[in-house]
Amino acid sequence: MSELVAKRYIKALKSNMDDKALGSLSEVFSVLALSFKDEKFINIISNPGVSSQDKTNILLDAVKSVKSEKVNNFIKLLGENNRLNIIPSLSVALKKDIAQSTKTYQGVVSSNSDIDSSVVKNLGDGLGKKYNSNIALDFVKSEFDGVKVDVEDLGIEINFSKSRINDQIIEHIVKAI
């Protein structure tokens, strides 16, 4: 539900902001969303005994260094509508929306063996050409016995399991005999 509400706010923001301002706003809300992982912060924001104005002021103090009237007004709007709790959803939805409009996506390559950074870059470039986008991939060491590529915002998940490939080779040899 909060994701649907967040999308409505993003639609309104897009009509009033250019891409650069939207990118800056996304960075601010990414940082604010991290606050929602702190149990003490969540207790304050979800506490009905704390006034909406006090909750809003806490967030306004957190973004004071940004010195943006648009950011301040947006946080005030969220506070007035008792929507401060959607900030994490708003952050995620805003990142996805910006990625779709700029066709720039982040992804992950994971494997239990090391993969050279040039291979990861080439893989991202190749996928980018296929999907007419800019795809930047990061390598993450994992327990997966093979190679897995995941670009969540594009819905891409590719994996090559060593055990599956071995099984297919054996199956092919058995069929050939």
Q: Are residues 12 and 68 both part of a single domain?
A: yes
Q: Provide the CATH number for the domain around residue 26.
A: 1.10.520.20
**Both structure tokens of 149:** 């590529």
Please give the Cα distance from 5 to 42 (Å, whole number).
Answer: 19
pTM over 0.85: no
Provide the 10 A C-beta neighbour count for residue 128.
19
pLDDT tens-place string over residues 75-109: 999 999 999 999 999 999 899 888 888 899 999 99
Of 44, 49, 55, 43, whose CA–CA distance to 82 is shortest?
Answer: 55
Q: Are residues 61 and 83 both part of a single domain?
A: yes
pLDDT tens-place string over residues 13-70: 888 888 888 888 889 999 999 999 999 999 998 899 999 999 999 999 999 888 888 8
Domains in the chain: how many in total? 2
Tell me which of 69, 99, 129 is where a domain ends.
Answer: 99
Tell me which of 47, 67, 99 is where a domain ends.
Answer: 99
Tell me which of 41, 67, 99 is where a domain ends.
Answer: 99
